[in-house]
């Protein structure tokens, strides 16, 4: 039994350590959020004296919006979430069973014991098969949960893929170094070119399959996190 408890404790500690490694070593330049550098295009020499260059067209009647790999687009973060949940449960159960003067083969069943037992103060006067059982059970539970989150700001990302239907996959990160540590924002997702505004911005609510992360590292961030022992005690694998 002692070996089983030790094995269980080591397993829980191992799981907690692995779950925390992802956030413990976060650093800038993650390949999952790094920009894609477009291929270098060679200089095209005009032919036959023409001044027109095929790879340097000037858009006179359209807005300069992100549409190619490597283009930059600004995401306006306007994330607001709110959740509220109330639950109440009541259970009440009552049971009564009474058997008085039971009959066995047409006669009342009695104990054939001496009236006075060898134990002091105990007699057989009240020994019979009469039964009286009363059981009451009740449960009253109530839960109330409220949660709200808000994230506002901007982050500029790059286009890394162009899907066959024209949608753009964007990703990027922003790191801010403060006195007591770092804070970072990471975002990725799919956007439609039609949802990009003329000033080359898009609302975060318009991003499909969005992955938005706001966190930090350093002394200030670590003081707001429980230690490894509290993580073990608070783990869902802990039996208590």
Please report the pLDDT score of residue 22 as a whole number.
45
Please report the pLDDT score of residue 178 as a whole number.
78
Please report the pLDDT score of residue 195 as a whole number.
93
What is the chain's length? 240
| pLDDT tens digits in sequence order for the chain, 240 residues long | 556 565 566 665 555 555 554 445 678 888 888 888 777 666 656 565 555 555 555 566 666 788 889 899 999 998 888 888 888 888 788 877 776 666 666 566 555 555 555 555 455 555 556 667 777 878 787 888 888 888 899 999 999 999 999 999 999 999 988 777 888 899 999 999 999 999 999 999 999 999 999 888 876 666 666 777 777 767 777 766
Whole-number Å distance between alpha carbons of 52 and 45: 10
Per-position b or e across 100-110, b if 16+ CB within 10 A of its CB: eeeeeeeeeee
Please report the pLDDT score of residue 80 as a whole number.
85
Per-position b or e across 160-185, b if 16+ CB within 10 A of its CB: beeeeeebbbbbbbbeeeeeeebbbb
Token pair in block for residue 229: 């022992």
Please report the pLDDT score of residue 144 as a whole number.
82
Pairing of strands 208-218, 107-108: unpaired
Q: What pTM does this model have?
A: 0.58
Domain locations along the chain: 87-142
């Amino acid at each position: 039994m002692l070996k089983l408890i030790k094995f269980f404790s080591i397993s829980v500690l191992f799981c907690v350590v692995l779950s925390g490694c992802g956030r413990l070593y976060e650093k800038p330049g993650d390949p999952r959020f790094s920009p894609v550098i477009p291929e270098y295009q060679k200089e095209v020499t005009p032919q036959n004296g023409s001044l027109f260059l095929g790879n340097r067209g000037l858009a006179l009647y359209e807005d300069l919006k992100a549409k190619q790999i490597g283009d930059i687009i600004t995401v306006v973060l306007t994330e607001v979430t709110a959740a509220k949940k109330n639950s109440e449960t009541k259970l009440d159960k009552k049971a009564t069973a009474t058997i008085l003067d039971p009959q066995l083969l047409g006669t009342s069943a009695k104990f054939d014991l001496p009236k006075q037992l060898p134990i002091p103060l105990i007699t057989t006067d009240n020994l019979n098969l009469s039964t009286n059982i009363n059981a009451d059970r009740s449960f009253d539970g109530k839960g109330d949960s409220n949660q709200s989150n808000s994230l506002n700001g901007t982050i500029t990302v790059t286009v890394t893929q162009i899907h066959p239907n024209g949608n753009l996959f964007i990703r990027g990160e922003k790191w801010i170094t403060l006195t007591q540590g770092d804070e970072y924002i990471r975002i990725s997702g799919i956007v439609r070119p039609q949802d990009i505004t003329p000033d080359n911005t898009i609302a975060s609510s318009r991003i499909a399959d969005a992955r938005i992360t706001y966190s930090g590292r350093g002394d200030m961030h670590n003081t707001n996190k429980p230690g490894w022992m509290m993580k073990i005690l608070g783990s869902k694998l802990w039996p208590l």
